[in-house]
Amino acid sequence: MLATDNYLEKYLNFSMQSLISRNIQSIVHKPDLTKQQRDKDGNLLPLTEEEKKSLKSYNDFKSFEEKTYKEFHSLVLTDDGFPNLKKTAFKMPGYRRVVKLEKEH
């Protein structure tokens, strides 16, 4: 039971963040700067406002994602293997209680 709790507390975050990141990446695309317009001399023209906005959104997302994974990595490195989750109990009609409440000791 401790191993399951430790997994839920510490490592399930990676799976959830991966799902979130994939969903965001389906909306926030990296702009294709290889198709940037050039002038008659072959020099790159400045980015349009839409391209700037798209690039900023993408860069903000990637920096947030990097920060999040660094936090997760730090959590894993400092993991002692013992879960710190507080158990919660709930009642559902027709089901027996699985976790004892602290007041009942």
Position 61 in a domain: no
Beta bridge mates, 25: none
Position 45 in a domain: no
* Residue numbers of the domain that contains 23: 1-31+69-105
Query: Which pLDDT belongs to residue 45?
Result: 82
Position 83 in a domain: yes
- For residue 84 the two structure tokens come to 């710190």
Position 47 in a domain: no
Q: Is 73 left (phi over 0), alpha (psi -120 to 50) or beta?
A: alpha
Tens of pLDDT, residue by residue over 25-69, are: 888 877 777 777 777 888 888 888 888 888 899 899 889 889 988
Does residue 105 carry a pLDDT above 80?
Answer: no
The whole-angstrom separation of Cα 58 and Cα 82 is 37
Number of domains, the chain: 1
Listing DSSP states for 22-60 in one string gives HHHHTTSPPP-GGG--B-TTSPBPPPPHHHHHHHHHHHH
Position 21 in a domain: yes
Position 95 in a domain: yes
Neighbours of 33 (CB within 10 A): 11
